[in-house]
C-alpha cells in the first residue's frame, strides 16, 4: 500500500490502530464468538452485539493520489467520509453505494452496488490491494496477483468470515460538478428490460453518453429508468434534502439537475422511500424533523428499536388480523433476460412497491468464487424493503422463501445482508461452498470467525 505518500500522523495512527485490533483479537477467549463492532450498520440481521471486536481508528482516508487516481483507505471508513475526501480532487470511487454510512470494507465484503455498476461492476472489483486481519490473527496483504490472490478474490461476499479488511487501496474515477438526469417511463417490464440491456451494452441512449443508470418500479404499469450524465454546467439545481423527496420527482419530471454530491446521496435522505413508514415524508412531520436527522443511519436505528420491541408488528396484526408480519429486506440479482418474469412474479406474489432496479455487469473476465456472477452477462439488482402480512399457517419466512426459489429458477442470486432461508446444500451451490471451505482452512483454521452459512442464514 502506498503509505510512503501518506502523512506521518495518519500512517502512525493507522498502524497503531491495526496493532490494537490484532491485540484485541488475540485477547478474546478462544471459544468466544468474534464479530466486528461498528458504530453504524447497514445489515438487517439484528444481534445483541456479543463478541464484538473493537476496531477504533480504522475509519480514516489515509491518502488520495489524484494523479494515479487511487486512494488508501481504512476499512471502516464510511463512504460519506471517502466521498468528502475525493470530490475536492474531482474524483469518486468507481461505485458509491447509496447510503452514507456504508463502509468501504463493508461494501467490499458485502457487495455494495449503485448506478455506475452497469459499467464499473461492484466495489470489490476496484480494490487494488487489501490488508486483511485474518481469523488466524495475521495481517495479510492481498492483491490480484500475489500469493494471497485467493483471499483477494474471496473478500466479495465473505461478510468478515475470513478476515477484516483494515485498509484498502482502491481505484478512483473522474467526475464533473453536476449530473443531468432523464427519467424514462415504461408501461411494462419487458420494455424496461430491453432498454436496460441496450443502454448497459452501449453506455448511451439516443446519442448521449450515460454515466449513471438505475430505475424505479412503482407498479406493473409504471416503471422508470433514470439516466445520469455528468456535465460542467447546470441551468438549475434541485435539492431533495429539504421538503422535496427525490423518488417522487421521478414521476413528476422528465429532466432534472443535481450537484454531483447530491446525486451520489440522493437516496440517503429518505432511505430510498422507506422513511415514509416513519412518517418523515408527511409535510407537517418533515417541517419539524431536523434535516440532520433525515439520514438512513437514523432511520435504521429506529427500525432496530422497533424490531427489538415488536411495536409495529403488534399494531399491524391487530389492525389486519394477520398472524404475523414478515420483514422482506432484500437485494437480488436477476439476469436481465429474466427481469420481466421476476417482476411479474414479484407483483403477483409479494406486492411490495416501489422497487429499485439497478443494472450490473462485471468489469472484466475475472470471477469471484463466493458470488459467482458470469462475466459479460447483464444482471439487474432488484431492491425491495418492506413487510408482508402472514396468514394463518404461513411460515415466518414464507415470502422470502418464495423469492429464493424463484431466484434459483431464474439463475439469480441475492445479497446476504438480511434474511436468508437456504438449506446448506442450496447455499453451497450458490455461494461457492467448496472454495469457501478451502479458504477458511487457510485463513481461519481455528474457526475464530463465524462460518458464512452460520452468520448469514442461521443468524447464530
SS3 call for 132 = strand
Residues 156 and 228 in one domain: no
The answer as to whether 317 is a domain residue is: no
Residues 42 and 128 in one domain: yes
- Which residues share a beta bridge with 225? 184, 215
**pLDDT reported for residue 322:** 81
Regarding predicted confidence, which is higher, 206 or 307?
Answer: 206
Q: Where is 440: in which H helix or E strand?
A: helix 433-443
Tell which of 241, 266, 291 closes a domain. 266
How many other C-beta atoms are found inside a 10 Å radius of the C-beta of residue 381? 22
Tell which of 142, 175, 208 closes a domain. 175
Has residue 238 got a pLDDT over 80? yes
The answer as to whether 326 is a domain residue is: no
What are the DSSP calls for 211-259, one per residue? SEEEEEEEETTEEEEEEEEEES--S-----SSS--HHHHHHH-SEEEEE
Question: Taking all residues of the chain, what is their mean pLDDT, rounded to a whole number?
Answer: 91
Residue pointed to by grid coordinates 468501504: 104
Residue 307 pLDDT grade (very low, low, confident, very high; cuts 50, 70, 90): confident
Contact 368, 153 (CB under 8 A): yes
Contact 215, 165 (CB under 8 A): no
- Residue 5 CB partners (closer than 8 Å, separation 6+): 63, 65, 72
Residues 148 and 213 in one domain: no
Residues 76 and 205 in one domain: no
How many other C-beta atoms are found inside a 10 Å radius of the C-beta of residue 230? 16
Query: What CATH number has the domain bearing residue 95?
Result: 3.30.465.10
The answer as to whether 59 is a domain residue is: yes
**pLDDT reported for residue 42:** 63
Residues 35 and 109 in one domain: yes
**pLDDT reported for residue 67:** 97
The answer as to whether 363 is a domain residue is: no
Residue pointed to by grid coordinates 456479543: 50
The pLDDT tens digits for 152-182 are 999 999 999 999 999 999 999 999 999 999 9
Report, as an integer, the average pLDDT of 214-240. 98
Q: Which long-range CB contacts under 8 A does 440-445 form with residues at least 24 apart?
A: 440/161, 440/162, 442/150, 442/151, 443/132, 443/134, 443/135, 443/136, 443/140, 443/151, 443/162, 443/163, 444/134, 444/135, 444/136, 444/161, 444/162, 444/163, 445/135, 445/136
**pLDDT reported for residue 1:** 45
The answer as to whether 355 is a domain residue is: no
The pLDDT tens digits for 413-428 are 999 988 899 999 999 9
**pLDDT reported for residue 311:** 77
Residues 198 and 187 in one domain: yes
Residues 196 and 145 in one domain: no
Residues 152 and 232 in one domain: no
The answer as to whether 390 is a domain residue is: no
Has residue 337 got a pLDDT over 60? yes
- Which residues share a beta bridge with 56? none
Has residue 219 got a pLDDT over 60? yes
The pLDDT tens digits for 371-398 are 999 999 999 999 999 888 898 988 989 9
- Structural domain that includes position 56: 20-175
**pLDDT reported for residue 6:** 36
Proportion of the chain above pLDDT 70, given as a percent: 94
Question: CA–CA separation, 301 vs 320, rounded Å?
Answer: 26
Tell which of 113, 144, 175 closes a domain. 175
Beta-sheet strands, E only, within 113-239: 127-134, 139-142, 163-174, 178-186, 204-205, 208-209, 212-219, 222-231
Residues 158 and 108 in one domain: yes
The answer as to whether 84 is a domain residue is: yes
Count of the separate structural domains present in the chain:
2
Residues 190 and 260 in one domain: yes
Residues 66 and 166 in one domain: yes
Beta-sheet strands, E only, within 69-177: 70-74, 91-93, 127-134, 139-142, 163-174
Residues 151 and 211 in one domain: no
SS3 call for 80 = helix
pTM for this entry: 0.92
**pLDDT reported for residue 141:** 96
The answer as to whether 280 is a domain residue is: no
Amino acid at each position: 500500500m502506498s503509505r510512503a505518500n501518506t502523512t506521518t500522523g495518519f500512517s502512525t495512527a493507522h498502524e497503531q490502530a491495526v496493532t490494537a485490533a490484532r491485540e484485541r483479537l488475540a485477547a478474546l477467549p478462544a471459544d468466544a464468538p468474534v464479530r466486528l463492532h461498528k458504530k453504524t450498520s447497514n445489515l438487517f440481521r439484528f444481534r445483541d452485539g456479543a463478541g464484538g471486536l473493537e476496531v477504533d481508528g480504522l475509519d480514516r482516508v489515509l491518502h488520495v493520489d489524484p494523479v494515479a487516481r487511487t486512494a488508501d483507505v481504512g476499512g471502516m471508513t464510511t463512504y460519506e467520509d471517502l466521498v468528502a475526501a475525493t470530490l475536492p480532487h474531482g474524483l469518486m470511487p468507481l461505485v458509491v453505494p447509496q447510503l452514507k454510512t456504508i463502509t468501504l470494507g463493508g461494501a467490499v465484503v458485502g457487495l455494495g452496488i449503485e448506478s455506475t455498476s452497469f459499467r464499473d461492476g461492484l466495489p470489490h472489483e476496484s480494490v487494488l490491494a487489501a490488508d486483511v486481519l485474518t481469523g488466524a490473527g495475521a495481517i495479510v496483504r492481498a492483491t490480484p496477483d500475489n500469493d494471497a490472490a485467493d483471499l483477494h478474490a474471496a473478500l466479495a461476499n465473505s461478510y468478515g468470515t475470513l478476515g477484516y479488511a483494515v485498509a484498502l487501496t482502491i481505484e478512483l474515477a473522474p467526475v464533473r460538478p453536476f449530473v443531468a438526469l432523464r427519467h424514462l417511463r415504461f408501461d411494462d417490464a419487458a420494455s424496461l428490460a430491453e432498454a436496460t440491456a441496450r443502454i448497459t451494452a452501449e453506455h448511451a441512449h439516443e446519442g448521449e453518453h450515460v454515466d449513471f443508470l438505475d430505475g424505479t418500479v412503482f407498479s406493473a404499469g409504471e416503471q422508470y429508468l433514470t439516466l445520469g450524465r455528468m456535465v460542467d454546467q447546470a441551468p438549475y439545481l434541485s435539492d431533495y434534502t429539504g421538503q422535496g423527496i427525490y423518488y417522487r420527482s421521478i414521476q413528476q419530471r422528465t429532466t432534472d439537475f443535481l450537484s454531483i454530491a447530491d446525486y451520489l446521496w440522493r437516496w440517503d435522505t429518505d432511505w430510498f422511500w422507506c422513511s415514509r413508514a416513519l412518517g418523515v415524508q408527511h409535510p407537517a412531520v418533515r417541517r419539524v424533523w431536523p434535516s440532520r436527522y433525515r439520514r438512513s443511519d437514523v432511520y435504521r436505528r429506529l427500525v432496530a428499536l422497533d424490531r427489538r420491541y415488536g411495536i409495529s408488528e403488534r399494531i399491524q396484526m391487530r389492525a389486519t388480523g394477520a398472524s404475523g408480519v414478515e420483514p422482506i429486506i432484500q437485494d437480488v440479482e436477476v439476469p436481465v433476460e429474466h427481469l420481466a418474469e421476476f417482476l411479474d412474479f414479484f407483483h403477483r406474489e409479494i406486492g411490495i412497491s416501489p422497487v429499485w432496479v439497478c443494472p450490473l455487469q462485471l468489469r472484466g473476465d475475472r470471477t469471484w468464487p463466493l458470488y459467482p456472477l458470469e462475466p459479460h452477462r447483464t444482471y439487474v439488482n432488484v431492491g425491495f424493503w418492506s413487510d408482508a402480512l402472514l396468514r394463518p399457517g404461513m411460515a415466518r419466512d414464507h415470502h422470502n422463501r418464495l423469492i429464493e426459489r424463484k431466484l434459483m429458477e431464474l439463475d439469480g442470486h441475492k445479497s446476504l445482508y438480511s434474511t436468508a432461508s437456504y438449506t446448506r446444500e442450496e447455499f453451497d451451490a450458490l455461494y461457492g461452498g467448496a472454495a469457501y471451505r478451502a479458504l477458511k482452512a487457510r485463513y481461519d483454521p481455528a474457526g475464530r470467525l463465524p462460518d458464512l452459512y452460520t452468520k448469514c442464514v442461521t443468524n447464530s
